[in-house]
Structures are given as structure tokens and as C-alpha cells.
């Protein structure tokens, strides 16, 4: 094909290419509407401060609260990362923060993200593997330590091969899936 022939072919295909590009942009906008990234600056700064990937923190927040800063669970967990007041006060102690906060402070996005990210970092440091750390975030450290000590759930005492609580198993899978979606939509390029 000559150069002139290629030009004609491109002109004929240009509307189709532009249409495909438009569909891609619309699909991305729709997907971002379904998976919002509210508080992006806070998420990214807390992820950086704690050595976390921002998409992982987004996956956790989407799973916990769907980015609703005023979310309160029936169990009393609050805010974006759904911390209970007891966990929050333990994290304050662990961080050496002697500030006195009311439990309602957990509804403040910056404070909630700060301690939710810190909690996840502590769990990753303690358990060494993301699925195990996420299971502990959902079901609690003590329960996960028990699972790791039980050969029915862990052959090596470090890796959970089987999570006995279906809710926790779904939780771990959901956080990881949402993290992959957030990476694709916001952090791939």
C-alpha cells in the first residue's frame, strides 16, 4: 500500500477510532463514578506515611465504608476505616499520642485515615502477609493468631490457607479486588 493509500485508510477509520476513544473515556468516567476516590490527598499522604500502596488503602476504605466518613456499624465501628473506639484508643496509646479524643473524633476523615492506615501497617508488620493482615483487620488479631496456631487453617503458622469465617474470607477477597480496581482506575499510569 502506498503512503497515499494509507492516508485514505486512516481517514476512513478515524471516525471509528474516535468513537472507540469516546467509549473508553465514558467507560472510565462511569467506572470512576462507581468507585469514587474521595479524600484522595488524605489517602495518598497516609499511604505514603505508612508505607502502603494508596490503592490498598482505597480498597480497605471502599470495603469498610464505601468512602462514607460518617458510617457507623452496628458494632460501633466508625468512619472511613471503621475503627472501634477501643481499637482507636489502643492505637493512640501505641503511637504515643496522649491527646484525649471523644469517640466521635473517628468521624473526622483525617484522623480516621491516620489511625486506620496505622492499624493496617501494624497488622502487616505483625503478620507479614497481606491476606493475614486483612483477616486480622476484620476478625481481630487474637482470633487470627488462633487460626495460625491451628493446622486446619495454617500449615506453617504464618500463612492462612483457610479462613474459617466466611465473612472474613469474603472481606479479604473484597479488599484485594477493590484495591485492584482502584489501581486500574487511578494508579496504573
Comparing 63 with 28, which gets the higher pLDDT? 63
Give me the pLDDT at residue 24, please.
Answer: 72
Give me the pLDDT at residue 10, please.
Answer: 61
SS3 of the chain: the string is CCHHHHHHHHHHHHHHHHHHHHHHHHHHHHHHHHCCCCCHHHHHHHHHHHCCCHHHHHHHHHHHHCCCCCCECCCCCECCCCECHHHHHHHHHHHCCCCCCCHHHHHCHHHHHHHHHHHHHHHHHHHCCHHHHHHHHHHCHHHHHHHHHCCCCCCCCCCCCCCCCHHHHHHHHHHHHHHHHHHHHHHCC
In this prediction the pTM is 0.86
Q: Where are the domains of the chain?
A: 1-34, 36-187
Give me the pLDDT at residue 19, please.
Answer: 67
What fold does the segment set 36-187 form as a domain?
Lysozyme (1.10.530)
Say yes or no to pLDDT of 3 above 80. no
Say yes or no to pLDDT of 125 above 60. yes
Say yes or no to pLDDT of 150 above 90. yes
Residue 158: count of CB within 10 angstroms of its CB:
11
Say yes or no to pLDDT of 9 above 80. no
Known catalytic residues are 64
Comparing 15 with 36, which gets the higher pLDDT? 36
Give me the pLDDT at residue 2, please.
Answer: 52
Say yes or no to pLDDT of 17 above 80. no
C-beta separation of 109 from 69 below 8 A: yes
Q: How far apart are CA 53 and CA 187, in angstroms?
A: 9
Say yes or no to pLDDT of 40 above 80. yes
User: C-alpha grid cell for residue 160?
Assistant: 492462612
Condensed to tens digits (0 to 9), the pLDDT of residues 65-87 reads 999 999 999 999 999 999 999 99
Say yes or no to pLDDT of 7 above 80. no
User: What average pLDDT does the structure give for the chain?
Assistant: 92
Amino acid at each position: 500500500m502506498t503512503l497515499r493509500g494509507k492516508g485514505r485508510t486512516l481517514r476512513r477509520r478515524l471516525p471509528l477510532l474516535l468513537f472507540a476513544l469516546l467509549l473508553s473515556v465514558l467507560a472510565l468516567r462511569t467506572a470512576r463514578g462507581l468507585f469514587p476516590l474521595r479524600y484522595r490527598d488524605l489517602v495518598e499522604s497516609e499511604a505514603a506515611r505508612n508505607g502502603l500502596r494508596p490503592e490498598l488503602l482505597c480498597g480497605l476504605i471502599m470495603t469498610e465504608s464505601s468512602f462514607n466518613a460518617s458510617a457507623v456499624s452496628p458494632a460501633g465501628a466508625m468512619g472511613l476505616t471503621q475503627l472501634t473506639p477501643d481499637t482507636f484508643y489502643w492505637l493512640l496509646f501505641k503511637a504515643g499520642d496522649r491527646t484525649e479524643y471523644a469517640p466521635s473524633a473517628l468521624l473526622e476523615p483525617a484522623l480516621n485515615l491516620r489511625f486506620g492506615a496505622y492499624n493496617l501497617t501494624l497488622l502487616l508488620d505483625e503478620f507479614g502477609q497481606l491476606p493475614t493482615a486483612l483477616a486480622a483487620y476484620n476478625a481481630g488479631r487474637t482470633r487470627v493468631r488462633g487460626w495460625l496456631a491451628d493446622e486446619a487453617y495454617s500449615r506453617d503458622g504464618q500463612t492462612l490457607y483457610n479462613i474459617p469465617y466466611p465473612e472474613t474470607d469474603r472481606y479479604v477477597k473484597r479488599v484485594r479486588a477493590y484495591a485492584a480496581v482502584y489501581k486500574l482506575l487511578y494508579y496504573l499510569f
